[in-house]
Amino acid sequence: MSKVAVFMADGCEEIEGLTVVDILRRAGIKIDMLSIGDNLNVTGSHGIQFRADYLMTDKNSDDYDGVILPGGMPGTTSLENNTLVQSALRKQFSAGKLIAAICAAPSILGKNGMANGKKVTSYPGFEEAFSKATYVTDPVVTDGNVITSRGMGTAIDFALAILKYLKGEDAACEMAKKIIYNQ
């Protein structure tokens, strides 16, 4: 069974993080919400409060098959400036494991060279982070082990792309039917 982590920071875009958690859990994938802060309570960019499963400091990122970065501001800046997040990303990338980022968060991958030579997308206005990548405006882009997406309106597509990566096309199609998506 696949096991992934979503890094939650105060100021994250709630829909981008929680939609992925919801859909992957419905599909039977173990997904842990890891707070990058010093407590489990996270407040999203629109004031919605939720509780992460664990503190990032209590988990070893090596134990995950992939990591997911929701966007939003200032959540993306907090992810980018967190040394544990940066270390986890480098380890995951070096191991060829899944790295998925949505909205502003793909810019972190661009700034760290993890998008180099890859086809990627992000929220409009972050294109400058991808000087060594092929930037497109598709809603979701999968290139090898890197999945990127545009923003809140693409959160379901993003989650389904992650599901497809982890469990295959049939699982993603079945989930889309279950949630009555694009019928």
Q: What is the pLDDT of residues 21-71, one digit of tens each?
A: 999 999 999 999 999 999 999 999 999 999 999 999 999 999 999 999 999
Q: Is position 41 within any domain?
A: yes
In a domain, 183, yes or no: no
Q: What is the pLDDT of residue 182?
A: 64
User: pLDDT category, 180, cuts 50, 70, 90?
Assistant: confident
- Whether pLDDT at 90 is above 80: yes
Q: Could you give the residue numbers annotated as active site? A: 103
Split into its structural domains, the chain has a count of 1
Taking the CA atoms of 168, 173, 176 and 177 in sequence, report the sign of the dihedral they define.
negative
Asked whether residue 50 is assigned to any structural domain, the reply reads yes
Q: What is the pLDDT of residue 183?
A: 56
Q: Annotate 29-66 with b (16+ C-beta within 10 A) or e (fewer).
A: bebbbbbbbeebebbbbeeeebebbeebeebebeebbb
Mean pLDDT of 87-111: 97
Which domain covers residue 31, as residue numbers? 3-178
72 confidence band (pLDDT: 50, 70, 90)? very high
pLDDT tens column, 122-157: 999 999 999 999 999 999 999 999 999 999 999 999
Instruction: Using alpha carbons, list the distances in angstroms from residue 121 to 11, 27, 86, 125, 132.
Output: 21, 25, 20, 11, 13
Dist. CA 63–CA 14, nearest whole Å? 25
Residue 40 inside a domain? The answer is yes
Q: Does any domain span residue 61?
A: yes
Share of the chain above pLDDT 70, in %: 98
Stretch 109-131: mean pLDDT, rounded?
Answer: 96
Q: Is residue 116 part of a domain?
A: yes
Establish if 164 belongs to a structural domain. yes
Tell me the sheet residues that pair with 119: 134
The predicted pLDDT at position 9 comes to 98
- Residue 165 belongs to domain with CATH number: 3.40.50.880
Averaged pLDDT of the chain:
96
Q: Are 172 and 164 in contact (CB under 8 A)?
A: yes
